[in-house]
Chains A and B, each alone.
Chain A
Amino acid sequence: MTILEPVARIINVGLPLIVEGVPAADVIQLDWRPPAFGEADVARLALILDDDVTAEANARAITAVHSVRPQLTRVRPAKEVIPGIADGRTLLHAGPPIEWERMCGPMRGALIGATLFEGWAETPDQAEALLDRGEITVDPCHHHGAVGPMAGVLAPSMPVFVATDPSDGRLAFASLNEGLGKVLRFGAFDDEVITRLSWMRDVLGPILDRALEAFGPIDITSLIGQALSMGDEGHNRNVAATSLLTRRLAPTIAAMEPSSDAIAVLEFLAGNDHFALNVSMASAKLSMDAAVGMENSTLVTAMARNGVEFGLRVAGSGAEWFTTTVGPADGLFFPGYGPDDANPDLGDSAITETLGLGGFAMAASPAITQFVGGNPDDAIAATKSMRRITLGPHPAFPLPPINFAGTPSGIDVLKVLDTGVLPLINTGIAHKLAGVGQIGAGIVTAPPEVFLQAARSLANRRGIS
């Protein structure tokens, strides 16, 4: 009788000494760490959760996400398309819910700017007073099908990208990117900022919308897919996607009257390498929303930061946020700035990582790795490490440097807990004071606590204790 058929293959968890009598080729030595970041009770819950019910739910969830082919259909004023902000005074912000009093500097600045932009106040002091008195409702973008980078503040009059799921008509939204420098999303609200926002509302938005109506919807998946083969990773580097988008729309825009506006729009697109980031974000949001509420699924549907807390949402726990205090990103700083100047991590842009772009698609973008301190080998290693915590490759996003394998997509809470590997997020670093702007960029990992909370909640929903 042989017990180990056909030949002994031994997985060793722990001391190599235990298997020293076994031929080395037959041993698979694990690089083991305590599961669930050392929380044995959660590790036990995760083990019970990891059953056929979850596997089946996750298969359905990731298939749903990967089946979405978002189309960029319109650019419309937010109040016209985003549910729940047309009446009264409501402003949207990035990340999980947070009260005005607890908000960080850049987000407060952005809300003051948006209040001025809407004409609800004449001066910053008046705006602040309105917000202090609670006369303006603040709510997360994510609660309205929208996403915004950094402070992520969306006001009713701002134009937004509309991404449409052609199979069922679902929509998702994102603000239009203002470029770098003094911008609202970093908390600046002076005249220059308000003037630019007004131009975006009056000129940029309408022209882009007319161009889309004339040209027809743009398939965002194929746009991003192509950009990934041109050195973008869909979060911190967007120059290829922006160029491709501009190339598609430019002939249509160039023919528009008045030509001075058309030229101004094209110049704006030419000068803003991150313009397509918000398109990528809206598309990722639309894709991930396909799995929201998928019962028993442990797939992460959103990761977002509000500058104070990191928030996580999981398919099987619907609208519930799992939050924990977030620290500043560790990265490379522009000359003259350092970690002491950095605001804690901020923005909804981690929705791109949730789908498998950004930090997960690092292999595609040798250029970005240099920016955040690393080399192309590190980038490939980073992408491969994300395979350990994802449900599968994204079929529409093949990455050339890893033999055209799809980017690792769909974070599984259980795999994060089992491996101890945390999602990598590429991020810009904002100055903690409103309006100073971006002072660096880096890679952050999602905090472990939110995954522990998620497992507890999911187990609770399944009646597991």
Chain B
Amino acid sequence: MNSPKTTVLSSRVLHHFYRDSVALMAIASATEKREGVIRVGAVMATPANRGILADSDMLPPDLNAESDDLVFVVRAESEDTATEALDAAEAGLTAVETSGAIEDQRPGTVDEGIHAALAGDRESPANLAAISIAGTYAPIVAERAIRNGLHILCFSDNVAVEDEVRLKKLAVAGGVLFMGPDCGTAIIDGIPLGFANVVKQGKVGMVAASGTGAQEVSRLLDLAGVGVSQLIGVGGRDLSADVGGIMTGFALDLLERDEGSEAIVVVSKPPSTDVATALISRLEGIASHGKPVVACFLGMDDADPDSVTPGVVVRGTLEGGAIATARLAGHELAVTDLDPIEPVPGRVLGLFTGGTLASEAKIILKRAGVDCEILDLGDDQYTAGRPHPMIDPEARADKIIEAGADSSVGIILLDVVLGHGASRDPATPVAEAVMVARSEAESVGRRLEFVASVCGTAADPQGIERQRTILRDAGVILAATNASAVRFVAAQQAGTHAS
């Protein structure tokens, strides 16, 4: 027979602690099986139960507990063992509290998803549906989600404009956002959705009808030290005459009321004339109530409050929009343009993955009177069955190599977009293609230069510095912003013509 060991009695009182008794029993018996634990009691501290504990020599002498308290008692071989057992039991009880019934089948429909959200570990209701299915079904799925009070991010395109209008009206009536269709970028409560850069949280509220436009502005604000409160995408057609800016208006309502948004920037192509008039007066209204507003309408003439449009700053480029917004937030975004290099003969070819970045390039080069060919490789005519070039950079690599053999081309303008959703390493395929194209050109005695900007932040999953280094090592000339890269090219071309 073993000689009698000394044992210790340790207890913990959990005040007013009612828990699922099945779980409580399971945890108690698990605790009893621990090495060095002799006996466990887990009961409500009623007078009768104190009696039962005393009968089995399990009543802590100094027990301070009432009937509605749970007392967990452990008799163990050592103080440490007892404490560890109590810690484990308490942790187990807390874990039980936050767990729920787990659905064993993957939800397949919006309704099932809503149920799963409530039944799952987090037990918090679903509040947004991200939709990226075929455009035929997107309105059906979106309508179900809106009826259930969910905000929508609709990445799907090919949604009929009548559906868009109907769903947006339904969303506004239900007090939820309908971001889309064809909305690729949003940052809601600091959570990046779709193609979004990792930018700091801050005070600027953004409403964007363009994806890469929103990315460029938000990442430049980040560079200036200005954070974003919300980036609400509205879909490329929202400011068209057909849709009439329904969602832009709703997003502005939200941001106007939001104390966390101290300045607002709207990023879009120029709105249709009817919509523009109403929108500008809406923006003026917001500005006149003390919340400064920047309208970044690509291609519009810059204007400041005291001249044409009182209260609203208008900028025609993404970079201009970002600088103006940063200034309203009390920060300066200094963009240092590159020094010119020896003029390059040949025409300018732009190979873009970001649609709005391509538009910005076209606008600046047109203003500078430079002939150019700017391709948006994300456009349907180039993707045709392949993933978007921001996801799969190989398509553009082929185009770069092709251009290497085109003797008319002197400068190739590129964008490299980072952030969530984008390729894990977009720079490397570009760098490799650049080297192939350049050696092809040089083999026939031709000079070929590459100019690029990287739309990204240090916090992006790809890391902007790593991506820039890869490009720089391949001899790509890097500008700070897309606009700056374009200006550099324009200056070079002007130099070519001058010489």
Interface residues of A (CB under 8 A from B): 1-15, 17-22, 25-26, 28-35, 40, 43-44, 47, 50, 381, 384-385, 388, 418-421
Is there an interface contact between A7 and B140, defined as CB atoms closer than 8 Å?
A: no
B435 to chain A, nearest CB (A): 29
Distance in angstroms between the alpha carbons of A2 and B420 in the assembled complex = 21
Is there an interface contact between A8 and B130, defined as CB atoms closer than 8 Å?
A: no
Distance in angstroms between the alpha carbons of A60 and B62 in the assembled complex = 59
Is there an interface contact between B127 and A8, defined as CB atoms closer than 8 Å?
A: yes
10 residue pairs A–B, Cβ–Cβ below 8 Å: A1-B258, A2-B189, A6-B124, A9-B125, A11-B128, A14-B156, A21-B191, A22-B191, A32-B108, A388-B112
Q: Report if A11-B110 is in contact (Cβ < 8 Å); known contacts: A19-B130, A20-B420, A385-B105.
A: yes
Is there an interface contact between B137 and A8, defined as CB atoms closer than 8 Å?
A: no
Distance in angstroms between the alpha carbons of A5 and B175 in the assembled complex = 13
Give every chain A residue within 8 A of B54 (Cβ-Cβ): none
Q: Which of A4, A30, A44, A418 contacts B191 (CB 8 A)?
A: A4
Is there an interface contact between B130 and A10, defined as CB atoms closer than 8 Å?
A: yes
Give every chain A residue within 8 A of B121 (Cβ-Cβ): 25
| Partner-binding segment picked from B145-153, B289-297, B372-380 | B145-153
Chain B residues numbered 27-61 whose CB sits less than 8 Å from any CB in chain A:
none
A83 to chain B, nearest CB (A): 41
Give every chain A residue within 8 A of B281 (Cβ-Cβ): none
Is there an interface contact between A13 and B258, defined as CB atoms closer than 8 Å?
A: no
| Partner-binding segment picked from B192-200, B315-323, B438-446 | B192-200
B459 to chain A, nearest CB (A): 11
A298 to chain B, nearest CB (A): 14
Among A13, A17, A32: residue with most chain B CB under 10 A: A13
Is there an interface contact between A32 and B109, defined as CB atoms closer than 8 Å?
A: yes
Question: Count of B residues near A, CB < 8 Å?
Answer: 59
Q: Which of A20, A21, A22, A388 contacts B108 (CB 8 A)?
A: A388
Q: Report if A8-B156 is in contact (Cβ < 8 Å); known contacts: A1-B229, A13-B141.
A: no
Is there an interface contact between A14 and B155, defined as CB atoms closer than 8 Å?
A: yes
Is there an interface contact between A10 and B132, defined as CB atoms closer than 8 Å?
A: no
Give every chain B residue within 8 A of A381 (Cβ-Cβ): 104-105
Is there an interface contact between B106 and A31, defined as CB atoms closer than 8 Å?
A: yes
Is there an interface contact between A14 and B188, defined as CB atoms closer than 8 Å?
A: no
Is there an interface contact between A28 and B198, defined as CB atoms closer than 8 Å?
A: no
Is there an interface contact between B120 and A18, defined as CB atoms closer than 8 Å?
A: no
Q: Report if A44-B140 is in contact (Cβ < 8 Å); known contacts: A8-B191, A13-B110, A418-B109.
A: yes
Is there an interface contact between B153 and A11, defined as CB atoms closer than 8 Å?
A: no
Is there an interface contact between A28 and B155, defined as CB atoms closer than 8 Å?
A: no
Give every chain B residue within 8 A of A388 (Cβ-Cβ): 105, 108, 112
Give every chain B residue within 8 A of A2 (Cβ-Cβ): 189
A383 to chain B, nearest CB (A): 11
Chain B residues numbered 107-144 whose CB sits less than 8 Å from any CB in chain A:
107-114, 116-117, 120-122, 124-134, 136-137, 140-141, 143-144
Is there an interface contact between B189 and A8, defined as CB atoms closer than 8 Å?
A: yes
Give every chain B residue within 8 A of A12 (Cβ-Cβ): 129-130, 132
Give every chain B residue within 8 A of A7 (Cβ-Cβ): 122, 124
Q: Which of B133, B151, B421 contacts A3 (CB 8 A)?
A: B151
A455 to chain B, nearest CB (A): 13
Is there an interface contact between A3 and B254, defined as CB atoms closer than 8 Å?
A: yes
For B196, the closest partner residue in chain A by CB is: A21
6 residue pairs, one from A and one from B, having the closest CB atoms: A14-B132, A21-B420, A21-B192, A1-B258, A11-B113, A31-B106
A166 to chain B, nearest CB (A): 36
Q: Which of B108, B130, B189 contacts A14 (CB 8 A)?
A: B130
Is there an interface contact between B132 and A18, defined as CB atoms closer than 8 Å?
A: yes
Give every chain B residue within 8 A of A50 (Cβ-Cβ): 144
Q: Which of B130, B133, B258 contacts A11 (CB 8 A)?
A: B130
CB of B261 within 8 Å of the partner chain: yes
B113 to chain A, nearest CB (A): 4
Q: Report if A418-B111 is in contact (Cβ < 8 Å); known contacts: A10-B128, A10-B130.
A: yes
Give every chain A residue within 8 A of B478 (Cβ-Cβ): none
Is there an interface contact between A13 and B130, defined as CB atoms closer than 8 Å?
A: yes
Is there an interface contact between A43 and B137, defined as CB atoms closer than 8 Å?
A: yes
Q: Report if A15-B155 is in contact (Cβ < 8 Å); known contacts: A7-B124, A25-B121, A26-B122.
A: yes
Given contacts A9-B124, A30-B110, 7 further A-B contacts (CB under 8 A): A1-B230, A3-B230, A12-B130, A20-B421, A28-B117, A30-B107, A47-B143
